[in-house]
Amino acid sequence: MIWRFFISILALYKTAYFVKNHPELIHTSVSTVYREIVRNNGKRGYTAAYAQEECNLRKERYKGKRKLTPDMERVIKKHLITDQ
């Protein structure tokens, strides 16, 4: 499913037929497409293979638990109060 999304963006990007004109073509908002292109723009521009590779790396990197513990909550509240 995700791979199809990358290919769709790549096809539109390569033909200069940007989604800005017709976002309904891939059932995604314009901002999502632009964010995807910016996030996965390699040295040679956007490619579906590079985007998929980066997606897999990010998924692996952020695999751990991301819970808001009471200690973290205290630190955040402290910074919010003292920084204002």
**Tell me, what's the pLDDT at 12?**
67
Residue 35 in domain = yes
In a domain, 71, yes or no: no
Per-residue model confidence (pLDDT) at position 57 = 92
| Confidence at residue 74, expressed as pLDDT on a 0 to 100 scale | 92
Put residue 27 in one of left, alpha, beta given phi > 0 → left and psi -120 to 50 → alpha: left
Is 16 contained in some domain?
yes
Q: Which domain holds residue 35?
A: 2-61
User: Is 39 part of any domain?
Assistant: yes
Query: How many folded domains does the chain comprise?
Result: 1
pLDDT in tens for each of the 84 residues of the chain? 566 676 777 776 665 566 566 666 667 777 887 788 788 888 888 888 888 899 899 888 888 777 888 898 999 999 998 876
User: What pLDDT, on the 0 to 100 scale, is given for residue 36?
Assistant: 81
Polymer length of the chain: 84
Tell whether the torsion through CA atoms of 71, 73, 74 and 80 is positive or negative.
positive
Query: Phi/psi of residue 66, each to 5°?
Result: -130, 70
What pLDDT sits at residue 30? 75
